[in-house]
Structure 1
Amino acid sequence: MSSRAVQLQPAVDQAKQRTEDALAQLALQQQQLAKAEHQLGELKRYRQEYASNGDGSLTVSALLNRQKFVERIDQAITQQTGEVARLQRLLDQVRGRWHQAHARESALDSVIEHCLEEERQAADRHEQAEIDERMQYRRPR
């Protein structure tokens, strides 16, 4: 590896670590969002079941209790909907950080590859110059 590539290697390693960390955070955020979406679906399903299982022979107080309970479920649904939206925004931010980290890692990898290619070409030119020099001093037979 050329001295420039060697000098850049710690930056490449750090970029790779940042990309891995961002990817782990992205996975965690996706799990949290999926869990919140599942909870929201469960709340909606529970509300639907509870609201549709009405007994026509309920007393006024039982009917009022049922209505208050459905209102509390609706409040929980509203809160959970807000939580899902918050987690979605957070996921978008984390995804953006991962994209940035990945782009930086890719850019540094390209720089390293370019340095190595330049080094290889310089070595090839040097070898060809040595061969040409040896051929120049070679005695004709």
Structure 2
Amino acid sequence: MSSRATQLQPAVDQAKQRTEDALAQLALQQQQLAKAEHQLSELKRYRQEYAATGDGSSTVGALLNRQKFVERIDHAIAQQNNEIVRLQRLLDQVRGRWHQAHARESALDSVIEHCREEERKAADRHEQAEMDERMQYRRPR
């Protein structure tokens, strides 16, 4: 007959795998967010550099083209900001799933440890009872 701790081990293994999977997802999500933040900083830097340098042209057409290009960069910056907000929300969700998986794994580990402790105590009681019984038969009458 297998012990309760042994019977629960597959559940613990599964919980551990879920925690590891959630942690991998968390790392991936953090990388995606960092990449998006880097892209945003590059867009802002490019816009700042482009706005700071003039091409020396003073025609109306050239100024309008320049203004339209700056507006496109601003639009790209706004879209990237929205993407970062979306990725941050997703990161929060993934982090929550990892916390849940980790908490479940920890709870199952605690249950198994409690079962093993109870099994040790029962084995000790059984051993003590056997010793007491042996000692009872050895006593001179």
TM-score category (smaller protein) = over 0.9
CA contact (8 A) 1:2 1:119 kept: no
Query: Which residue is equivalent to 1:21?
Result: 21
CA deviation profile, 1:70-107 (whole Å, cap 9, x unmatched): 00000000000000000000000000000000000000
Letter in 2 for 1:32: Q
Query: Which residue is equivalent to 1:94?
Result: 94
CA contact (8 A) 1:5 1:116 kept: yes
Counterparts of 2:2 and 2:41, CA distance in 1: 57
Query: Which residue is equivalent to 2:36?
Result: 36
Query: Which residue is equivalent to 2:9?
Result: 9
* TM-score, normalised by the number of residues in structure 1: 0.94
Letter in 1 for 2:33: L
Structure 1 unaligned segments of length 5 or more: list them.
Answer: none
Deviation at 1:54, TM superposition (A): 2.1
Q: Cα RMSD (Å) of the superposition?
A: 1.6
CA deviation profile, 1:20-78 (whole Å, cap 9, x unmatched): 10000000000000000000000001001101112454322111111100000000000
Counterparts of 1:14 and 1:8, CA distance in 2: 10
1:64 equivalent to 2:64? Answer: yes
Q: How many residues align?
A: 141
Counterparts of 1:133 and 1:54, CA distance in 2: 100
* TM-score, normalised by the number of residues in structure 2: 0.94
Letter in 2 for 1:80: Q
Counterparts of 1:12 and 1:104, CA distance in 2: 9
Percent identity between matched residues is: 89
Query: Which residue is equivalent to 1:49?
Result: 49
